[in-house]
Amino acid sequence: MDSEDFYDYQVNRPMVSLDDSANRQLTWPTTKIFGVPTPHLPFDLVVVAGIEPSMRWKSFASELLDLADDLDVSLFVTLGGLLADTPHSRPINISTTGANQEISRRLNVEVSRYEGPTGILGVLQDSAMKRGIDAISLWAPIPHYASASPSPKATLALINSLEDSLEIAIPLGNLQEESTNWQASVDELTKEDSDIADYVRALEESKDEAELPEATGDSIAREFERYLRRQSEE
């Protein structure tokens, strides 16, 4: 998408880098759209990646949804992270919500109860719903004491949740290793500050108590289903 229409370059500045021949390259902030053919599935994928636009959100959403209409997109999935009181050392539970009661009931997801300021993902979901395109959101809670981006553990949890929602297998590359390294680095961070360490322990105890009744075979079954899908893909 044309970055000049939607980005304030004083807020999101272009980046200068050097290539292998030491030539300078300028990369502008923008939103990129990728078509992903998946002949082994009954549908293809369209992946949208970028940073939140600075202005003209209505036009941004309209342009993106026009493309979705042209490509006969049937499901619009947004993925994001939010700061929460959650420990980094425990599994990340993804929240999956639908835009309204009808979609939530039909797709078997929770209905969003959020009220307040929203970002571009909320605008895109609303725009998709008004176009008659099913829309769901996947949100990963991020510990606010370890909120530096990126968070490989949150990314991995989002991808796993997307796999479950679409019943597909997605290649993970080195993401599992990066997730483990990220958690280890945050472990070191908490050890250096006794206040943070005490706070994390309190979060762990609270989360363990809340989720103990849910530690059933459901999570094991989901992991096994993912394993079988990956074996089938390979």
Q: Which residues contact 204 (CB under 8 A, 6 or more apart)?
A: 87, 89, 90
> Within 13 Å of residue 68, how many CA atoms lie on the same side as its CB?
24
Report how far residue 14's alpha carbon sits from residue 29's, in angstroms, rounded to the nearest whole number.
Answer: 6
Helices (DSSP H) in the chain: which residue ranges?
57-70, 101-107, 120-130, 152-166, 175-191, 194-211, 217-233
* pLDDT value of position 73: 95
Hey, how many other C-beta atoms are within 10 angstroms of the C-beta on 109?
Answer: 18
Q: Is residue 34 part of a domain?
A: no
Mean pLDDT by 10 residues, the chain (234 residues): 91 92 91 94 94 94 96 94 89 87 83 87 92 92 86 94 89 93 90 86 83 60 71 67
Q: Is residue 23 part of a domain?
A: no
Q: Is residue 50 part of a domain?
A: no
Q: Is residue 191 part of a domain?
A: yes
Report how far residue 44's alpha carbon sits from residue 73's, in angstroms, rounded to the nearest whole number.
Answer: 9
| The residue type at 166 | L
Give the CATH number, domain containing residue 97: 3.40.50.10900
Q: Is residue 10 part of a domain?
A: no
* pLDDT value of position 59: 96
**pTM (two decimals):** 0.82
How many domains, in total, are found in the chain? 1
Q: Give burial (CB, 10 Å; 0-12/13-18/19+) of 200.
A: buried
Rounded to the nearest 10°, the torsion over CA 51, 52, 57, 60 is 20
Q: What is the DSSP letter of 21?
A: T
For 67-87, the pLDDT digits (tens) are 999 999 999 999 999 898 889
Q: Is residue 37 part of a domain?
A: no
Strands 134-143 and 95-98: antiparallel
* pLDDT value of position 206: 84
Q: Is residue 208 part of a domain?
A: yes
Q: Is residue 21 part of a domain?
A: no
Domain region containing 79: 56-233
